Amino acid sequence: MHAIFWLILFIWLTLWCCKRFSSPASLLYVQHKYGVHISLGSIRFTTTAANPYFVALGQPTIFIKTWFHLGCVVVIIGSFVGAAILFAGFVHILITPGSPLPPRSMEESMSTARNHSRTAVADTTTQPRVASRPLHETRSTSLAGAVPLLTPLIPGVNMPVSFLGYAIASLAVASTVHELGHAMAAVSEGLVVHHSGLICFLLLPLVFVQIEDRIHYMPPLSQLHVYTAGAWHNLMLSMLCLGLASLVPHVVSPF
């Protein structure tokens, strides 16, 4: 329901803007003054307000140079590891007899788990207790050879629709950190960031930065620093979130 509401609001806002600024002169005025470009299904906003922050954060200090050089190495190695995981999943699907069943939604999985728990409680009244294996071992054994190594999360299919807001917020944060990495690396390599912006395609927010074309004539190592900076920052963001998530039990129950 939330997704339908925001979709209707987005369509209404797009139609209102098209009607309000219907003349070509008005559209050009809006685009040049506010950096807003409206097209079918998307709204793009560009600005140069963040450029001073990119310059301040991307100064070519020893730390920044080392940071992006380390990120370049890690991302290149991670690319080979990721390709190996994808290839292993592809081979796993080919050699597994029959077609793997698609993953069930979280609601179905939780409902099935509750039904199994009720059945298990009922069975204990008539059957002797049998030592059970740990849950993670049982799950890994039952799922081994049944699903690929990587599974996409699709709202309404294998992820509750109520999680869509969290997914959109996560995408916005990850996209911002990703493009911030590109901008900082570009500044550290002596490149100019023309502008940054936000694209809302239907319900998906995506951040972008526009870097000068001189990057194509830079040394290969400098290009790698810029190209791998986004993935490197996303990896560090993931590590930070994982660390914070591991601290939640200690914060909730410190004693």
The separation between CA 30 and the C-alpha centre of its own chain, rounded to angstroms, equals 31
User: Are residues 51 and 140 located together in one domain of the fold?
Assistant: yes
Assigned domain for 125 exists: no
User: Are residues 15 and 61 located together in one domain of the fold?
Assistant: no
Assigned domain for 24 exists: yes
Assigned domain for 106 exists: no
Kindly report, residue by residue over 120-168, the tens digit of the pLDDT: 444 444 444 444 444 444 444 444 444 446 677 777 777 787 787 888 8
- With H, G, I as helix, E, B as strand and everything else as coil, classify residue 98: coil
> Which of 104-118, 174-188, 189-203: highest mean pLDDT?
174-188
Assigned domain for 194 exists: yes
User: Are residues 11 and 45 located together in one domain of the fold?
Assistant: no
Assigned domain for 76 exists: yes
User: Are residues 166 and 220 located together in one domain of the fold?
Assistant: yes
Q: How far apart are CA 210 and CA 195, in angstroms?
A: 5
Q: How far apart are CA 49 and CA 235, in angstroms?
A: 26
User: Are residues 138 and 29 located together in one domain of the fold?
Assistant: no
User: Are residues 75 and 186 located together in one domain of the fold?
Assistant: yes
User: Are residues 162 and 53 located together in one domain of the fold?
Assistant: yes
> What separation, in Å, do the N-terminal and C-terminal C-alpha atoms of the chain show?
41
Give the chain's domain count.
Answer: 2
Q: Which residues contact 75 (CB under 8 A, 6 or more apart)?
A: 228, 231, 232, 235
User: Are residues 214 and 172 located together in one domain of the fold?
Assistant: yes
Other CB atoms closer than 10 Å to residue 14's CB: what's the count? Answer: 17
User: Are residues 70 and 28 located together in one domain of the fold?
Assistant: no
Confidence of residue 79 (pLDDT cuts 50, 70, 90): very high
Q: How far apart are CA 213 and CA 19, in angstroms?
A: 36
Assigned domain for 27 exists: yes
- With H, G, I as helix, E, B as strand and everything else as coil, classify residue 42: strand
pLDDT at position 233 is 96
201 pLDDT exceeds 70?
yes
User: Are residues 238 and 197 located together in one domain of the fold?
Assistant: yes
Assigned domain for 116 exists: no
Q: How far apart are CA 111 and CA 133, in angstroms?
A: 21
Q: What is the pTM of this model?
A: 0.69
Per the structure block, which two tokens stand in for 143? 């799922």
Q: Which of 94, 237, 252 is nearest to 174 (CA)?
A: 237
- Domain span including residue 7: 1-33
The separation between CA 227 and the C-alpha centre of its own chain, rounded to angstroms, equals 17
Identity (one letter) of the amino acid at 94?
A: L
Confidence of residue 182 (pLDDT cuts 50, 70, 90): very high
Q: How far apart are CA 50 and CA 46, in angstroms?
A: 10
Per the structure block, which two tokens stand in for 224? 């790698």
DSSP 185-245: HHHHTT--EEEEEEEEETTEEEEEEEE-GGGGGS-HHHHHHHHHHHHHHHHHHHHHHHHHH
H-only helix segments in 105-157: 106-123, 135-143
User: Are residues 144 and 67 located together in one domain of the fold?
Assistant: yes
Assigned domain for 253 exists: no
Kindly report, residue by residue over 165-178, the tens digit of the pLDDT: 888 888 889 999 99
User: Are residues 29 and 52 located together in one domain of the fold?
Assistant: no
